[in-house]
Each structure stands twice: as C-alpha cells, then as structure tokens.
Amino acid sequence: MNSPSQQPDRRAQSASSNKGFEKGQHLDFLQGLPQAIAVVRVDLDIMGKPYDLVPVYGNDALFCLFDTPKEKFIGTSLNNSSINFTQWLGTFWETAYQGRVQKITDFWPVQGRHLMVTCHQPQYGYCTCLFQDVSERVLLENELDRNRQKLEALLHSAVDMVFQIDPVTLAVTNLEESLASHGDLFKARRVPEGLFQQGLFAPGQDEKIKEAVNLIRFGVGDCTCEVRARVELNGPYTWHSLTAIGYVEPHSGEICIIGFLKDAHDRVKERDDLLFRAEKDSLCGIYNRAAGESLITLKLGNVDEADPTRAAMFIFDLDDFKNINDSAGHSTGDTVLTAFAGVLREVFRKEDVIFRLGGDEFAVFAQNLPVERVIKIYERVAAKLQKPLVQGVFVKVCAGVAFSQTGRHSYDDFYKTADKALYNAKEGGKGQIGVLCLCGSGA
C-alpha cells in the first residue's frame, strides 16, 4: 500500500484532470434523490498528509439536511465550517486515495441527529458521501442496551443459572450462543458442561419440571416450582426456585422455554420449619389437633360420591397416665407420650393421619380400611405395649373407633362417634376397644 507522500504526481494529475467533475457534470440526476449526497475533495499538504476537505458537489437533500445554502458549501474549506467533517480526515483519505469503502455512524450536534455516512471513491482523490439519518435506530439500540443492562442488574440478584428447556423431551441445554453473547451475565449463568453428565436436577424432580412445562404449553406464560438442584460440579443438591418462562418463536411458531434457577434453600427450610411448628405437636412430632382436623376434612371432601371408600377414626387413651406423671415425673410422662406416638407411626400406614388430640389422647384417621382390620390394628398396638415404652414403665390403652362403609361423613361425625366408642370401651375396663359404625348421619 502506498503512503500519501509517495503519490505527489498522481495527486497533481488528479487535480488537473477533474475540473469537469468538480463542476458537477453528469451528476444532475442525483438532485432529485431523497438521500443526501456529497462529493468531497481531500486535499493533502506538501508531506502528502490530508489537511482539508472541500465539497465539490451536493444535491438538494444535502443542503436541506445541513441547512446550508449551496453557495456557502460548495468549494468551501470545511476546516473552519460548523459542519464537523474534519474529524474524519483520515477516514476520507483512505477512501479517496486507497478506494476503501467505509461506513461511519456519529452524532452531529448541529443537526441533533445520528447520521451514518457511507464513503465511496468516485475518482482518485475524491470521496462520495451518502448520508442516512439513523437516529431512530440508534435511539432504539441505546434503549435496548439500557434495558439489557437493567435486565442484567435484575438477573444478577435474582438468578443463579439460566438455560433452555425442551418442551417435548424436557432436556436442559445452555442458551444459544447468539443470546448468551449479549452481556457477561448470561455467560456467567450458563450451566457447566460437566453438570449435564452429573445431573443438574436431583432424582425425582422430573414430574415437577414436566408439570411446569405442560402448564406453559397449555397457555400459562410462566410458572415457578421448587426443585432440588445444584449449580456447581460435585456440589450437593439443595432447594432452588425454578421459574420457567415460555415464548413463541416468531418464525416457526414453536413454543420455547427458558428456565431460571435461584437458590431457595434457606427460604424453603425456614418455611418448612414454620409449617412444621404450625402443624406438628411440639412434643411428639406428629400432627396437632388443628392440623389433624384440617387434613381429615380435606380427605373427606375428596370422597367420590360414585365411588365411596371405607374409613375409620381411632381415638386412643392411655390408661392411668396420671399415675405415671405422679409416680415417675412429668419428664417420664412426656417420654411415654413420645414413645406411644412412635408406636402409632409403626402400626399405621404413611397415608393415614396421625395426630395428638391433647394430653394422653391420640387419634388416627384411615381410609380404604376393611372393618375386619380394625380389631387387628388395635391388637398390633396392644402387642407393642407388652414391652415397656420407657425403662420400667408399662402402659395399656383403650381405643374407640368410628367406622363408615362409605366415608361420606363429616369430621364431627367421626370424632363424636369415636369418642362415644371410647367411652364404651373404658366402661369395660383397661386395655379395651369399642367400635361403632356410622350409618346415615349418625352412629
């Protein structure tokens, strides 16, 4: 590539051979174009370096754009002009003398606009400038950039990991490079490749993710659930909030889903602890009376009228419990209560509702239970009490049972009937069971 100082002869030749060009000959067809066009001569000093720009042609759109009459523009040095071309001397020189096609976008204070200038070489030593007002585009890009920065600031505090979820296979992949390249935050929140092999989500989380994806596929814009996941290689699975957001790909019309993970371990643990304290008996660790009643009412409300289910409520009362407190102390009494709650957990099923009514009274509600099993269950409880619940302390228990063939009764119906059956059992002595069946609206 030749430097300007090596081309004095060609510059002299150019200056002497372009008189017709500078008079605007053969350029009249450009006058009616809506796009502003200028032809500028790039003058060099004796060292061959660019030092001035001199417009030799402009169309009407150009003079309108710069609000300058033709006679004050054509043939006038731009060094001292209010139109700031001189900052681009080097750029125009590259086009005028090297033929390089270039595009420049800058803000022009006098016009108060963002202009893009496309530079071509019409002849050696000259630069044709095509002006395009790109203010709206630049403002839009700036607005998008500001919004992206706001989004990154928001995500920085709200998101630990960002990824895509395939709505059909539920496969998790990183964002496309085109999206992840916008800002460092998305890159920092990518899933480490090794986690795809180790497992981003803990086993057993698929159903939660599937449910969230199905909600989005059926029109819900976004949904959030709690999952056990990890964001570091070889890290432990902890509780995270998974937010899935769906959108429609404009070209294919397919539903796409982006997932966000945010650490929620402490919040979930705190909530579960509060829930435990609200629902569980602080001494025995089983449900308290209010929680038991609520759960039973919920189960009874879900009984299908067309498909009734047999159900029973047991009320257990420890015999002579007051004597244990009086003789062995309340601490021993508390241990006995806790141990008996453990017996009920061993005998009854996981889906049965076990709760403490208060004092030495406990209750259990069980569905899908044949009547013939009621006595066998009590016998299993009594058999476990053949051994001391705590060292040297034996107890017996009476039980009252309310049984329903249909399960279509209220909590009060079950409770009052079981309480009446318990009264009958205690009338017969210690370690007895009474059973009453619920028929219609009563026992």
Q: What's the pLDDT score for residue 77? A: 85
Condensed to tens digits (0 to 9), the pLDDT of residues 90-102 reads: 899 999 999 999 9
Least confident of 153-167, 169-183, 347-361: 169-183
Distance of alpha carbon 311 from alpha carbon 103, whole angstroms:
82
* Domains of the chain: residue spans and CATH: 4-133 (3.30.450.20), 157-268 (3.30.450.20), 280-438 (3.30.70.270)
Query: Encoding tokens for residue 336?
Result: 């006995």
pLDDT tens digit sequence for 177-215: 655 555 555 666 778 888 888 889 999 999 999 999 999
**Residue 114 and residue 89: Cα distance in Å, rounded?**
19
- Distance between CA atoms of 295 and 186, rounded to whole angstroms? 44
- pLDDT, tens digit, for every residue of 271-319? 888 877 889 999 999 999 999 999 999 899 887 776 778 999 999 999 9
Q: Quick one: pLDDT at residue 186?
A: 60
Tens-digit pLDDT profile for residues 9-21: 444 334 434 555 5
Q: In whole numbers, what is the pLDDT of the chain averaged over residues? A: 85
DSSP, collapsed to helix, strand or coil, labels residue 327 as helix
Q: What is the DSSP string of 223-273?
A: EEEEEEE-SSTTPPPEEEEEEEEEEE-TTT--EEEEEEEEE-HHHHHHHHH
Among 203, 221, 204, residue whose Cα is nearest residue 212: 221
pLDDT of residue 309: 86
* Residues of the chain by 3-state class (helix, strand, coil), percent to 5: 40, 25, 35
Distance (Å) of CA 287 to CA 175, 355, 382, 410: 45, 4, 22, 19
Interatomic CA distance for residues 379 and 23, integer angstroms: 117
Of the chain, the percentage scoring pLDDT greater than 70 comes to 86
Residue 1 pLDDT class (50, 70, 90 cuts): very low
Partners of 38 in beta bridges: 58, 129
**Residues 382-423 pLDDT 10s:** 999 999 998 889 999 999 999 999 888 999 999 999 999 999
Query: Between these two residues, 28 and 65, which has the higher pLDDT value?
Result: 65
